[in-house]
Structure 1
Amino acid sequence: MDPTAPSVTNSTNGTTEETTGFPFSHEAAVFVACLLGIMAVFGILANTLTIVVITMSRKLRSVFSLFIISLCASDLASALVSPFFIYRRTWGFNFWMIPDFFCKFSWCIHMWTNYVTAIHIVCFAALRLCAIARPIQFREIKQHHAQICIAVIWFICFLAGGVPLAVMFGVEQDRDSGIVGKFPACAVLEDSLDDFKLYHYVAYPIFFFLPIILVTVISVAVGVFFYKRQKQKQESNLSSVKSVSQDLVTDSKNGLNKINKTKKKAENETFAILQLSLIVGSFLIGYLPFTIYQLYGYTVPPESPKDERNDWNFGISEYILLRFSECLNPIFYNLASKTMRDETKRVLNSFFCWCCRRKANR
C-alpha cells in the first residue's frame, strides 16, 4: 500500500503494527479494481456494439434509437474514464501520483455524462408516454427534432456539470487537516468547498432528484395508459372477432392481414413498455444511490476511522451500482427488442466472418 504510512504502537499488547493509511484493506482494493475493471471493459464493448448496430441498421432508425445512441455514448464516455475513478478509490486514495489534469478531466466527463443520462431518461420516458397517449402528435416528431434536442442537452449539461466540476475539483495532496483529509486526494478542492456545497444543493436536485421524480411519475402514467388501452381492447374483442370472422368468410387474405397487424401492434406496445421499464429500473438502480451519497458525503463528513471506512464502503458501493446500471443498459436494449437482437446477431456474424476471412488470407 502506501510506503510512507506510519507505524503505530498497539496499546493493548505493546507491539508495533504497520498502518496502511487507507480506510480499506489491500484485498478489498484488489477485488474492487478487478470488478470495476471488468465492468469498464464490458461497458466499452457493449455500448460501442450498440452504437454500431443502430447506426448500421435501417430497421432501427427512429427517434427512440437516436436517444439510445446518445445514452450509449454517455455510458461509453463514463466507462472510458472509470479507470481514473478506480484508481481514485484505491491506490490513489491518499496520494494521486498522476497529473492533476486527469483528476479534473475524469470528474468533468463523469458529471457531464451523469447529467446527460438523467435528462435523456426523462426525455425517453416522455416520448414513450406521448407515443401511447398522443400517437398522432408523436408522428409529428421527426429525427431532426430529436437530434437538436440531444445536442442541446449535451451542451447544457456540459456547462452545468462538466465545467463547474473541472474548476472546483482537483488534487489536494496536503490533506492532514480539515474536511478535505477525509476524502480521496482527487476530490473537491478545499478553497472550493463552500462553493461546491452551494452548487450541489442547487444542481443535484435539478439534475438528479427532479429527473428521478419525473421518470417515476411518467412511468406510472405510461402504465396507466397501457392498462386502460388493454382494457378497452378486451371490451372490443367481441366486435373485432366478429369483424375479422366476416372478413375471413368474404376475404381470407384481408382477415389474416387484420389479425397480423393487430398482433404486431400489441407486440410493439408490449416491447415498448418492457424497454421503458428496464431502462428506468436501471437508471434508478445506479443514480438513486449515487445522488444520495453525493448529498450525504459532503453534508456529513466522516469524523473517525470507522466513519471513514463506512464512507469508503458507501462510496464504492454506489459507484459499483452506477457502473453496473450502465452495463445493464445495452443488455436491456436487446432484451426488449427482437429487431435489436436480430440486428446485433447480424453485425456480430459479419464481424466474425470478416475476422475469419482476414485470418485465412494471411
Structure 2
Amino acid sequence: MNTTAIIREYRNTTVWAPYMFATEEQNTLLWVFVVIAALIGTIANAIVFVVITRNKTLRENPFNIILMSLCVSDFLSAVASPIMYYKSGLIPRDYNLPEWTCKLAVMIDHWTTIATVHHILATVIYRVLVLNKPKRLRRINSKHVAALMCFIWIESFATSGWYPMVGMEIEEASDPYTRSCFMSDLWIGYGIRYSKYYLPIAFVAPVFVIVILSIYILHVIAKIRRIVRERSRRDLRRENRALLHICFIVGSFIVGYSPEIAFRINVMRGADFGLTVYAYDFFRFILLRISESLNPFFYTLCSRSIRTACYRFLIVLCCRCCPTNSSKPEEMQSPDESSPKDRQTTSS
C-alpha cells in the first residue's frame, strides 16, 4: 500500500466517537477532572522546581537535577493537557481555538513524551551506578547532570518536538466527530514513518531497558537490605529511600505511559489505526494526568530534604500572603539556609 492510500485510510478511520467510552455527561466530568489535574500538576511541579532551585544544598545533589528536569516535563505536559483534551474531540465537535494553540499543544505533547522516557532512563542508570560504582560516581557532579538534561531536551525537540509545529493545521471537519486539528496531508506521511521507524528506537526500546534495569535495581536493593538489617538503621533507611524512589518514579511512569506504550507497539505491529487511537487517547489522558499530578508529591515523599525545604517554602509563602503574619517570614529560616543536620541529609 502506498503512502497516499495509507493517509486516506488513516483519515477515514481516525474519527472520534465520544460515546464509545462515555456519555456526554460523563465527558463533562472528565473535562473537569482534566482541568483540576492540570492545575494540581502545574502548581505542584512548579513548587518542587522552585524549592530545589532556591536551595543550594539540594542543587548540589545530581539526582535532584534530574528531578528538576522531570518537573519541567510534567509542568509543560500539565499546562498543555486541557488543550490536548479539547483537540481530541471528547467535548467539542470542532476545534475553535487559534491554530497556534493546536500546534503548540501537540508539539509539547510529543516533545515531553520522548524527553520523559529519556529522563527516566537516566534515572535508573544513575541508580545502577550508585549501587555498583559509588566511588566513580563521585566524579559526576550536578553540572555534569545538568548538561545531560539539557542534551535530552535538545535531542528530544530535534527529533520529536519540531514537526507538529509545522505539520498541524485546522481544517473544516467533514464529519461531526472528525478531528479538525489534524496533521496536514503534506506531513502526515512523515508522522506515520516517524511512528513506525523512529519511536521503536526512541521510545519503546528505552521503556524495555527501564523495566529490566528497575527489576535489577530492586533485586540488588533486596539483597542489600538483608545484609544491612544487621548493621545500622541509618543504612537501612537509605536503602528504603532508594527503594521508594524506584517504585514511585518508575512505577508512576509505567502507569502513566502504559497506553502510549501499548499504542506504539500496536502501530509497530500494523494494527488498525482507528480503534487503537480511540483507546489510546482516552486512557492516555486519564492516566497521564494522574501521573504528572502525583509525581511531585512522590519526590517530596521519598526525600526528607526536599520535603523539609518544601514545607519551609510553603510556610514562608503563606506568611507573606497573609497580612496578619507579615512579620513572620523575616524571623524564619530562609529556604537556602539549613541546619548542619539537614546538610547531611540529602536525597538518595
TM-score using structure 2 length: 0.80
Q: 1:294 to 1:166 in 2, by over 3 A?
A: farther
Aligned residues of 1:286 and 1:322 also touching (Cα < 8 A): yes
Aligned residues of 1:208 and 1:287 also touching (Cα < 8 A): no
Which of 131-140 and 311-320 deviates more? 311-320
Q: Tell me, yes or no, if structure 1 residue 209 matches structure 2 residue 204.
A: yes
CA-CA distance at 1:291 after TM superposition:
3.0
Q: Which residue of 2 aligns with 1:165?
A: 164
After superposition, where does 1:191-230 map in structure 2 within 5 Å?
Answer: 191-230=186-225
Distance in 1 of aligned mates of 2:32 and 2:75 = 19
Q: C-alpha root-mean-square deviation of aligned residues, in Å?
A: 2.5
CA offset digits 1:314-336 (Å, max 9, x no partner): 52222111111111111111121
Aligned residues of 1:293 and 1:315 also touching (Cα < 8 A): no
CA-CA distance at 1:215 after TM superposition:
0.8
Whichever residue aligns with residue 272 of structure 2, its letter is V
CA offset digits 1:256-278 (Å, max 9, x no partner): xxxxxx43233122101211211
Among 266, 280, 284, the residue aligned to 1:318: 284
Q: Tell me, yes or no, if structure 1 residue 152 matches structure 2 residue 151.
A: yes
Distance in 2 of aligned mates of 1:286 and 1:230 = 29
Q: Which residue of 1 aligns with 2:272?
A: 300
Q: Tell me, yes or no, if structure 1 residue 58 matches structure 2 residue 46.
A: no
Aligned residues of 1:209 and 1:291 also touching (Cα < 8 A): yes
Q: Tell me, yes or no, if structure 1 residue 286 matches structure 2 residue 284.
A: no
CA-CA distance at 1:144 after TM superposition:
1.1
Q: Which residue of 2 aligns with 1:138?
A: 137
- Structure 1 residue runs of 5 or longer lacking an equivalent are 1-20, 241-261
Q: Tell me, yes or no, if structure 1 residue 340 matches structure 2 residue 306.
A: yes
CA offset digits 1:5-42 (Å, max 9, x no partner): xxxxxxxxxxxxxxxx9533431331121010000000
Distance in 2 of aligned mates of 1:264 and 1:357 = 42
Q: Secondary structure at the match of 2:47?
A: helix
CA offset digits 1:70-128 (Å, max 9, x no partner): 00011101111112112113467542112211111111111111111110000011101
Q: Secondary structure at the match of 1:140?
A: coil
Distance in 2 of aligned mates of 1:227 and 1:148 = 32
Work out which structure has the larger RCO, using CA pairs closer than 8 Å and 6 or more positions apart in sequence.
Answer: 2
Aligned residues of 2:170 and 2:181 also touching (Cα < 8 A): yes
Q: Tell me, yes or no, if structure 1 residue 106 matches structure 2 residue 105.
A: yes
Whichever residue aligns with residue 58 of structure 2, its letter is L
Whichever residue aligns with residue 210 of structure 1, its letter is A
Q: 1:174 to 1:353 in 2, by over 3 A?
A: closer
Aligned residues of 1:96 and 1:173 also touching (Cα < 8 A): no
Distance in 2 of aligned mates of 1:93 and 1:190 = 23
Q: Which residue of 1 aligns with 2:335?
A: none
CA-CA distance at 1:52 after TM superposition:
1.4
**Alignment coverage as a number of residue pairs:** 306
Q: Tell me, yes or no, if structure 1 residue 357 matches structure 2 residue 323.
A: yes
Q: Which residue of 2 aligns with 1:266?
A: 236
Q: Secondary structure at the match of 1:187?
A: strand
CA-CA distance at 1:134 after TM superposition:
1.0
Distance in 2 of aligned mates of 1:103 and 1:285 = 26
Q: Percent identity?
A: 27
Q: Tell me, yes or no, if structure 1 residue 331 matches structure 2 residue 297.
A: yes
CA-CA distance at 1:50 after TM superposition:
0.6
Distance in 2 of aligned mates of 1:145 and 1:110 = 27
Which of 335-344 and 31-40 deviates more? 335-344
Distance in 2 of aligned mates of 1:87 and 1:81 = 10
Q: Secondary structure at the match of 2:250?
A: helix
Q: Secondary structure at the match of 1:60?
A: helix
CA offset digits 1:143-193 (Å, max 9, x no partner): 1111110111100000111112223333232445xxxx9752223223433
Which of 345-354 and 161-170 deviates more? 161-170
CA offset digits 1:243-262 (Å, max 9, x no partner): xxxxxxxxxxxxxxxxxxx4
Q: Which residue of 1 aligns with 2:12?
A: none
CA-CA distance at 1:287 after TM superposition:
1.1
Distance in 2 of aligned mates of 1:57 and 1:123 = 23
Distance in 2 of aligned mates of 1:104 and 1:32 = 23
CA-CA distance at 1:360 after TM superposition:
6.3
CA-CA distance at 1:231 after TM superposition:
3.7
Q: Secondary structure at the match of 2:169?
A: strand
Distance in 1 of aligned mates of 2:287 and 2:182 = 20
Q: 1:174 to 1:71 in 2, by over 3 A?
A: same
Aligned residues of 2:27 and 2:91 also touching (Cα < 8 A): no
Q: 1:232 to 1:268 in 2, by over 3 A?
A: closer
CA-CA distance at 1:219 after TM superposition:
0.8
Aligned residues of 1:293 and 1:318 also touching (Cα < 8 A): no
- Structure 2 residue runs of 5 or longer lacking an equivalent are 1-15, 328-348
Q: Secondary structure at the match of 2:83?
A: helix
Distance in 1 of aligned mates of 2:88 and 2:31 = 9
After superposition, where does 1:66-77 map in structure 2 within 5 Å?
Answer: 66-77=65-76
Q: Tell me, yes or no, if structure 1 residue 27 matches structure 2 residue 25.
A: yes
